[in-house]
Amino acid sequence: MKKIIFIFSLFLIGFSVQSQEIKKKKNAKVTFEVDGICGMCKKRIETAALKTKGVKFALWDVSSHQLNLIMDERKTDVLTVQKNILKVGHDVVGLDAQKIAATEEAYNSVHPCCKYRDEEIVLDHEGGLKKQKKQ
């Protein structure tokens, strides 16, 4: 009888410990900000995210700079996706609202029209330089 109670107690403890674990979602939706300015940036950012094992969907919006992901949290995490985006030269704003800058080497590897840290290039993409030239 004591053995049965002991085994039953072990099962209860096992179930209670298992239920306290944080469940990782198969289709977690995550959004964070990534710097970029054009369609080439969009393709580079989305490709870097999708090459991360566990990322099922990636869509980056040029105007809002928001990257929307659907990912399997059992296979990857947000930090891994962000590191892959940093490797291709784009700065990210983490979930804690802290900006993480890509290395200079990675940033310099992007196409010259994609230099989002250069104010003149950003203005050119927004049409700001064209407006200034007409005046």
For the stretch 61-99, pLDDT in tens is 998 999 999 999 999 999 999 999 999 999 998 777 789
Listed by start position, the domains of the chain span: 28-134
Q: What is the C-alpha separation between 59 and 47, in angstroms, rounded?
A: 10
For the residues 104-121, what does the mean pLDDT come to? 90
Query: What is the pTM assigned to this prediction?
Result: 0.75
3.30.300.90, 2.60.120.10, 3.30.70.100, 1.10.260.40: CATH of 28-134? 3.30.70.100
Residues 65, 47, 50, CA angle at the centre, nearest 5°?
A: 100
Phi, psi of 127 (to 5 degrees): 85, 5
For the stretch 14-47, pLDDT in tens is 655 555 556 777 888 999 999 999 999 999 999 9
DSSP H or E segment with residue 34 = strand 28-34
Nearest to 31 by CA among 75, 74, 65, 73: 65
Q: What is the C-alpha separation between 60 and 44, in angstroms, rounded?
A: 10
